[in-house]
Amino acid sequence: MTEVVGLYMNPPDNAIVLCVDEKSQIQALDRTQPGLPMKKGRAGTMTHDYKRNGTTSLFAAFETMQGRVVGQCFQRHRNQEFIRFLRTLDHEFRGDVPLHLILDNYATHKHAKRKGVAEASSALRPAFHPHQLQLLNLVERWLRELTDKAVRWGVFASVPDLKAAIDAFLSAWNDDPKPFVWTATVESIMEKVSKCRQTLEAIAPGSTRH
């Protein structure tokens, strides 16, 4: 956690910090009837039932200083796809500048073949945040933007339609990128964790010992 927060609040000179994660199994949903738009005195409507038209998985890298996002959709989200995405990042940020990648502990990110790619490219330097602390990864904030503004209320007759919507959102975002500013220090995070533990212990004694 100290390493990740340090990359946000005091990034190394002449380096790029990328928050990397995937949003897997994004569903291309087609509603059974067209929804009604929002108007004065009436909320927008959408049918509760839908038809599934396949899925795609998005790998995304959020560049913390400028807010630019590199994204790539794949049919699956295995280590093979992740390695291809790492090579995309290596190509996109070509040069001698180190790329510090903030990642979670998903098995795909720690696969032996991924380590081989990182070792082959001296620019890629992974930093893993603690288990179950995805909120330490700023790309999660951007993925929420994508979900709320391009996916959740969309109607997609096919996976290509879904991918087109994701690509359009990526393009529009990068036309006017907005970085997210990290303000929480390690001390403030640990203070909140301590308060949560105290509350849990008051409710269920012994629950935080594991």
Domains of the chain: 13-179 (3.30.420.10)
Q: How far is CA 103 from CA 32, 40, 134, 188, in A?
A: 38, 44, 9, 22
pLDDT tens-digit series, residues 165-182: 999 999 999 999 999 999
Query: Where does 90-143 show beta strands of DSSP type E?
Result: 99-103, 124-128
pLDDT tens-digit series, residues 122-137: 567 888 877 767 778 9
d(CA 7, CA 16): 10
